[in-house]
């Protein structure tokens, strides 16, 4: 049974049918993901992932990439309200960024950490309130899956086979069971799913 006195850890990621979060071109090759990022289903999914979160956890590369994009959306009065809502939340929320190389935070309200993910997340779970969202950061998600510290997975599955690139679910993760708690398919065949850890 899950400990209800600690914060829930959630994680979100978009992946292809063959389980990849980037393509054969390496980091930044999102050719199989981006066509589905602004669909109605994707935007409803985006609104869902942050609504109960009070801490965002990111890897350094993701934090730097997000910094170049989301603050401009937050300031854009013509942006889709769902995108703008997420952007404002991301700018304003407490952020924890994992980095082994950075010494200066790229965002306001951000704490840089160079420590094992399990140690940092366990500390966050014991303090404060609201969910902890591991925000599109596969290296952190994988590290937490390895030690059973993810309580909910928000997955957007895009109907393409990338044929190369990095996968979220690599061999070596411990076995675990999940319960599907939400499922929605869009007109392009993209599928938003929410899975809760069954313990």
Query: CA 117, CA 49: separation in Å to the nearest integer?
Result: 20
pLDDT mean by block of 10 residues, the chain; 199 residues? 71 97 92 96 96 95 88 94 95 94 83 95 92 96 97 98 95 96 97 97
pLDDT at residue 18 in the model: 96
pLDDT at residue 5 in the model: 62
Of 14, 170, 46, which is closest to residue 22 (Cα–Cα)? 14
- Residue 109 main-chain phi, psi, to 5 deg: 55, 40
pLDDT at residue 192 in the model: 98
pLDDT at residue 106 in the model: 72
pLDDT at residue 2 in the model: 45
Q: For domain 9-198, give the CATH superfamily.
A: Dihydrofolate Reductase, subunit A (3.40.430.10)
Cβ contacts of residue 50 below 8 Å, gap of 6+?
56, 86, 89, 90, 93, 133
Structural Rg of the chain based on CA atoms: 16
pLDDT at residue 102 in the model: 81
Whole-model pTM above 0.85? yes
- Cβ(125)–Cβ(9) below 8 Å: yes
């Amino acid at each position: 049974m899950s400990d209800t006195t600690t914060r829930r850890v959630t994680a979100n990621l978009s992946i292809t049918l063959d389980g990849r979060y980037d393509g054969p071109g390496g980091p930044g090759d999102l050719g199989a993901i981006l066509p589905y990022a602004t669909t109605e289903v994707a935007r409803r999914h985006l609104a869902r992932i942050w609504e109960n979160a009070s801490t965002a956890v990111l890897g350094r590369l993701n934090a730097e990439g997000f910094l170049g994009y989301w603050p401009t959306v937050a300031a854009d009065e013509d942006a889709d309200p769902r995108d703008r809502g997420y952007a404002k939340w991301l700018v304003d929320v407490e952020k924890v960024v994992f980095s082994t190389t950075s010494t200066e935070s790229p965002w306001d309200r951000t704490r840089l950490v160079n420590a094992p993910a399990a140690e940092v997340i366990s500390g966050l779970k014991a303090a404060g309130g609201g969910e902890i969202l591991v925000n599109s950061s596969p290296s952190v998600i994988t590290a937490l899956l390895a030690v059973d510290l993810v309580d909910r997975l928000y997955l957007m599955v895009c109907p393409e086979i990338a044929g190369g690139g990095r996968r979220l679910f690599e061999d070596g993760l411990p076995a675990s069971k999940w319960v599907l708690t939400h499922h929605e398919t869009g007109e392009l065949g993209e599928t938003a799913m929410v899975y809760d850890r069954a313990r």
